[in-house]
Amino acid sequence: MSWGPTQENNISMSLNFYPEARLFAKGLMEVVKALRWNSFVILYETEEGLIRMQEILKLQEFHRGKRNSILVKQLGPGPDYRMLLKEIRNASEYIILDCETENIIPILLQAKDLRMLELHNNYFLTSLDAHTLDYSILKTTANITTIRLFDPNRQEFQNVLNRWLLSDNENEDEIMKVLPPHTVLTETVLLYDAFTHIMECIKSLAATSSVETNPISCEEKSKSKNGFALYNFCRVKKPEKTLTGAVKFDEFGNRIHFKIDIVDADMPTTALGSWHSHNESMVLYRGENETFDASVANLQKIKVIVSSR
């Protein structure tokens, strides 16, 4: 259950609830197009991250009139990235940052030291766990955009969270203090979706046909009598109780139906828009008035000092 190259072989019997790699890369590209960035810098941490950027790099074709409209740099070993940040400081005010979630805040703090977190600076964070971070410590007027596969503010998600943690001597308020919804990792939610789907499939299969079980050892080559039938059933059956939205698998078990929410780090309760993989469409939710209100809110963070001679 992780990002990786698309599997296309006939012997695989796995279902990956993580978005199919090429579609996810296309979704990232559509987010950048929705942001209307004509030139930007890509900072990536790993080779895997560079592969995620493959569709975004194709945007260079739409701006042939401007050379070097996309600058690509690898972050390097760190933890001090100031030399690299100085190098790209004057290249663009628009930066795509693809790195491990735990490195996001340290990198942005270093950017702040170099005055790269001002009102005119814009960042797009590609980590699906960027929503778990506290950006208030940055005290910045920069525009920071994140993405997510699920909405931690949905009542359905919070109900599931309550069921995870609720016991006889705990109430809902205490649960939210122990595990706030916005701190739940994407992998945890995907595991929940996978487990729920498998359990529903087993129940449905058992209700319509005889399901035989046989002891299986991880150290031996013995196979389950119903393994192939269960796999096919899980692959074809549409999951109904997922927290990450619509799910559909291709013939190789890759997830080809999913939704990417675009979120402003300063206003995480409401998505700016969503990209839908099933028809590769972008839906934007914020109108002109809301965009103006957000701009005003950002301006209100600026401390103005008035002095007289």
The CA–CA distances, whole Å, from 275 to 59, 135, 225, 283 equal 17, 24, 40, 6
**One domain for residues 214 and 249:** yes
3-class DSSP string for 284-308: ECCCHHHHHHHHHHHHCCCCCCCCC
Residues 114-163: pLDDT tens digits?
Answer: 999 999 999 999 999 999 999 999 999 999 999 999 999 999 998 898 88
- 263 belongs to a structural domain: yes
pLDDT at residue 208, rounded to an integer:
80
What is the reported pTM? 0.84
Question: For 253-299, what is each residue's pLDDT tens digit?
Answer: 999 999 999 999 999 888 999 999 999 999 998 654 454 444 444 44
Residues 170 and 144 in one domain: no
* 129's tokens: 């766990």
In-domain check, residue 304: no
User: What residues make up the domain containing 34?
Assistant: 16-149+259-299
Residue 305 has pLDDT above 60, yes or no: no
What percent of the chain shows pLDDT beyond 70?
Answer: 79
Are 101 and 133 part of one and the same domain? yes
Say whether both 29 and 131 belong to one domain.
yes
What's the rounded Cα separation, in Å, for the pair 149 and 22? 16
Q: How many CB atoms lie within 10 A of CB 186?
A: 20
Within this chain, do residues 38 and 58 fall inside the same structural domain, yes or no? yes
Q: Which residue has the higher pLDDT, 257 or 180?
A: 257
Q: Are residues 115 and 165 in the same domain?
A: no
Task: Tell me what the pLDDT averaged over the chain comes to.
Answer: 85
The pLDDT value given to residue 173:
59
- Give the pLDDT confidence score for residue 216 in this predicted structure: 72
What digits encode the pLDDT tens for the residues 211-253? 666 677 777 777 776 778 888 989 999 888 899 999 999 999 9
Q: What is the pLDDT of residues 42-74, one digit of tens each?
A: 999 999 999 999 999 998 865 555 555 899 999
In a domain, 2, yes or no: no
The predicted structure's pLDDT at residue 299: 42
The answer as to whether 104 is a domain residue is yes
In Å, what is the CA distance from 205 to each residue of 137, 158, 209, 218, 233?
50, 29, 6, 24, 8
For the record, the structure tokens of 301 come out as 């963070």
Q: Work out how many domains the chain is built from and give that number.
A: 2
CATH code, domain with 35: 3.40.50.2300
State the residue for tokens 């789907």.
197
pLDDT of residue 112: 98
Cis, peptide link before residue 79, omega less than 30° from 0:
yes
Q: What is the DSSP letter of 275?
A: E
Note whether 48 and 137 are same-domain residues: yes
254-to-8, 12, 31, 172, 200 alpha-carbon distances in Å:
9, 10, 22, 36, 19
At which of 216, 236, 253 does a domain end?
253
pLDDT at site 246? 92
Query: Cα separation of 56 and 39, whole Å?
Result: 11
21/122 same-domain check: yes
- Shared domain for 39 and 159, answered yes or no, is no
Residue 101 resides in a domain: yes
Q: Is residue 167 part of a domain?
A: yes
Q: Are residues 32 and 142 in the same domain?
A: yes
Q: Are residues 112 and 174 in the same domain?
A: no
* Domain contains 172: yes
Which pLDDT does position 300 carry in this prediction?
47
Taking a C-beta distance cutoff of 8 angstroms, is the pair 264, 143 a contact? Answer: yes
Does 231 map to a domain?
A: yes
Count Cβ atoms below 10 Å from residue 60 Cβ, excluding itself: 15
